Amino acid sequence: MSAMPEQRGKRLPAGELVLLVAVLALLAAGGLARWAGSGAEVLWAGATAVAIVPAAVWVTADLRAGRWGTDLLAVLALASCRP
* Residues 46-72 pLDDT 10s: 999 998 899 899 899 988 998 888 888
Residue 31 CB neighbours (<10 A)? 13
pLDDT greater than 50 at residue 1: no
**CA distance linking residue 27 with residue 45, whole number of Å:** 9
pLDDT at 71: 83
pLDDT surpassing 80 at residue 5: no
Which pLDDT score is estimated for 34?
Answer: 94
Of 28-32, 70-74, 78-82, minimum mean pLDDT range: 78-82
For every residue of 19-31, DSSP letters joined together read: HHHHHHHHHHHHH
pTM (2 d.p.) = 0.72
